[in-house]
Amino acid sequence: MSRLFGTDGVRGVANRDITAELALDLAVAAAHVLAEKGEFAGHRPSAVVGRDPRASGEFLAAATIAGLASAGVDVYDAGVLPTPAIAYLTADLDVDLGVMISASHNPMPDNGIKFFSRGGFKLPDATEDAIAASLRADWQRPTGAAVGRAKTLPGGGERYVEHLLGAVPAALDGLHVVLDAAHGAASEVAPEVFRRAGARVTVIGAEPDGLNINDGYGSTHLGHLRVMVAQVGADLGLAFDGDADRCLAVDASGQVVDGDQIMAILALDLKERGVLRGDTLVATVMSNLGMLQAMQREGVNVLQTAVGDRYVLEEMKSGNFSLGGEQSGHVIMLDHATTGDGVLTGLTLAARIASTSKSLADLAACMTRLPQFLINVAGVDKNAVDSNAVVQAAVVSIEQELAGTGRVLLRKSGTEPVVRVMVEAATAQHAEDVAQRLAAVVLTELAL
């Protein structure tokens, strides 16, 4: 049986998979599991809840707040804010639990629920599994003054903005930046913080109506950003996803700068400033081979983890490293954030441009990407990908074919019902051909 929690919380179609009842039950179970672990010992428990602008987030946040309060937890309702803002506020407010209602880069009909423990870190797998196992248990319900109280949190966005401004390593004076907020959670705070950091800001994708999140805008749809950067002659463009925990960039000529390139630029920046602890970058197995080669040349060690920012963070905490992330644009800067923070990433990238007077294209040239082709194979049993002998034999054969010139990665998605087939090769055509061949085997062998 698959886990209820994926790599980034519980996610699915809102009001079908992710219902008000499930949100309430998860909140109650989380409160009781944490209480049993002694997290609330000696004090009245408290939590902060936030959401992205999806219409379904309104009833899911209300249900989550109700569940927590019914379990005796006082709740701050932070409203619409980025995921990293809720992680920051969990620590800043010194509450026991943070909850974010969001499906990140997924389309509007989806939604999700993710939890942060005291200090703003995502819950460990074991705690998530305990919550899932405790759903709808027969808990003792508090009564009278012991029930939780819920109130609106004033100024949560401003607290987050001030935090970000304190983390910017250089003023952005003179930079013209286009921001694409994906009609999502950063639609207000991102333009505000960039302007206050000194940049001239042009904004697109910042008119959320509850239905348009990630719809043609944001880090998964860079077309509008590329056009606008060229149209206004900006120095760079930055695109966030719906909950702003990831960031991708576009240089002045319209070329996309992905998460691997951003991490390479930031690793060299932090190394130069003497704050890249252990001279180490933590990335996932999805990172481009070109990035690994560039970091080796520059004396930066790269540790690779399974896909998912939670696994990157675990490795960072274990080794006391300061920088890690994913090709998708999740970048964790552990000196300033406990999770991926797209706005912080964009600010630091822009500050590197401002402080060096180099263009983003020049900075991104520190690495050369190998052509990479990714196919998401739907309509298959993703949980059987590691155990199917024919599929695994195909992987071994392709690895032998690519030896020394590329690589192949086959994995089930932690957030979507697909198997991801990724191939890197010397040419784009070879990468695509190999990926198509392997995807065909996956589809034939694992079809539902």
pLDDT band at 2; cut points 50, 70, 90: low
Is 45 part of any domain?
yes
104 is catalytic: yes
Residue 164: predicted pLDDT = 98
Distances from the Cα of 328 to the Cαs of 242, 345, 361, in angstroms?
A: 13, 12, 19
**Residue 3 covered by a domain:** no
At residue 405, does pLDDT exceed 90? no
Residues 6+ apart with CB under 8 A from 412: 382, 383, 385, 386, 418, 419, 420
- Do 97 and 143 have their domain in common? yes
> Are 99 and 194 in a shared domain?
no
- 5: in domain: no
Quick one: 323 and 421 in the same domain?
Answer: no
Long-range contacts of the stretch 113-117 (C-beta < 8 A, 24+): 113/9, 113/10, 113/11, 113/18, 113/22, 113/23, 113/26, 113/60, 113/64, 114/8, 114/9, 114/10, 114/83, 115/9, 115/30, 116/86, 116/87, 116/90, 116/338, 116/339, 117/34, 117/39, 117/90
Q: Which two tokens stand for residue 387?
A: 């155990």
Q: Are residues 358 and 392 in the same domain?
A: no
Query: What residue numbers bound the domain in which 143 lies?
Result: 10-154
Residues 250 and 329 in one domain: yes
pLDDT of 28 over the 70 cut: yes
Same domain, 170 and 129: no
For residue 217, the 8-state DSSP code is -
- Domain for residue 1, yes or no? no
> Side by side, which strands form the sheet with 200-204?
200-204, 176-180, 236-240, 247-251, 256-257
Beta partners for 76? 48, 151
Domain membership of residue 21 (yes or no) is: yes
Residues 383, 315 share a domain: no
Does some domain include residue 330? yes
Distance separating alpha carbons of residues 395 and 390, to the nearest angstrom: 9
Q: What is the pLDDT of residues 168-182, one digit of tens each?
A: 999 999 999 999 999
Of 56, 102, 104, 287, the active-site residue reads: 104
The reply, when asked if residue 241 is annotated as ligand binding, is yes
- Region 360-383 average pLDDT: 94
**245 has binding-site annotation:** yes
Identify the band that residue 403 occupies on the pLDDT scale cut at 50, 70 and 90. Answer: confident
Would the annotation count 279 as a binding residue? no
Has residue 220 been placed in a domain? Answer: yes
Residue 124 per-residue DSSP state: P
Domain closes at, from 308, 330, 364: 364
What is the mean predicted confidence (pLDDT) over 247-262? Answer: 97
Query: Would you call 31 helix, strand, or coil by DSSP?
Result: helix
Amino acid at 192: E
- Same domain for 418 and 342: no
pLDDT, one tens digit per residue, over 75-95 is 999 999 999 999 999 999 999
Give the count of domains, the chain. 3
Q: Does one domain contain both 26 and 97? A: yes
303 and 189 in a common domain: yes
Q: Are residues 143 and 222 in the same domain?
A: no
Q: Which residues make beta-bridge pairs with 422?
A: 374, 409
CB 438 within 8 A of CB 374: no
Mind listing the pLDDT tens digit for each residue in 29-53?
Answer: 999 999 999 999 999 999 999 999 9
Say if 4 falls within a structural domain. no
Radius of gyration of the chain (CA): 22
The pLDDT tens digits for 262-317 are 999 999 999 999 999 999 999 998 899 899 989 999 999 999 998 888 899 999 99
Q: Is residue 147 over pLDDT 90?
A: yes
Write down the pLDDT at residue 8.
83
Look up the CATH number of the domain holding residue 406. 3.30.310.50
Same domain? 164 vs 74: no
Domain boundary at 364, 387, 414, which? 364
Are 412 and 429 in contact, with CB atoms under 8 Å apart?
A: no
Which whole number is the average pLDDT over 194-206? 98
Annotated binding-site residue? 215: no
Strand partners, 74: 46
Here the tokens at position 140 are 């003792």
CATH number, domain of 244, equals: 3.40.120.10
Give the CA count within 13 Å in the CB-facing half-sphere of 241: 22
Domain closes at, from 342, 364, 386 = 364
Q: What is the pLDDT of residue 1?
A: 44
**Strand, coil or helix: what is 206?**
coil
